[in-house]
Structure 1
């Protein structure tokens, strides 16, 4: 369990990729976890938008 009460997740990423991703996030001033959460939220929003559009077309 994390300190914020959200469950931890395990993903597999090559070390070189993970290290480079850490550098990219550091340059943006955010953590990898925060960046992943933002990405996931964007993907969910886009998915739901597509679902609504498809339902409206039906």
Structure 2
């Protein structure tokens, strides 16, 4: 089930890593999905900044 109209995505992660990641996200007060979205958006922004910087060179 998805929320807010966002499609579900499937990734493969071993159980040990997934459990440890859950602990990290709990400590941050985020769901795994929310944390992944933050990471993805940060990566996109960094890539776009680099693309703009490269275009000016």
What interval of TM-score do these two structures reach, taking the shorter chain for normalisation?
A: over 0.9
Which residue number in structure 2 is paired with residue 28 of structure 1?
28
Find the counterpart in structure 2 of residue 42 from structure 1: 42
Query: How many positions carry a matched residue from both structures?
Result: 57
Alpha-carbon distance between aligned partners in 2 of 1:49 and 1:4, rounded to the nearest angstrom? 28
Write out the 4+ residue segments of structure 1 that deviate beyond 3 Å after TM superposition: none
**How many Å apart are 1:5 and its aligned residue?**
0.6
Superposed CA offset, 1:4-49 (max 9, x none)? 1100000000000000000000011110000000000000000000
Q: What TM-score, normalized by structure 2, do the two folds share?
A: 0.95
- Consecutive unaligned residues in structure 1, runs of 5 or more: none
Q: CA RMSD, aligned part only?
A: 0.9
Q: Which runs of 5 or more residues in structure 2 are unaligned?
A: none
Which residue pairs with 1:2 in the alignment? 2
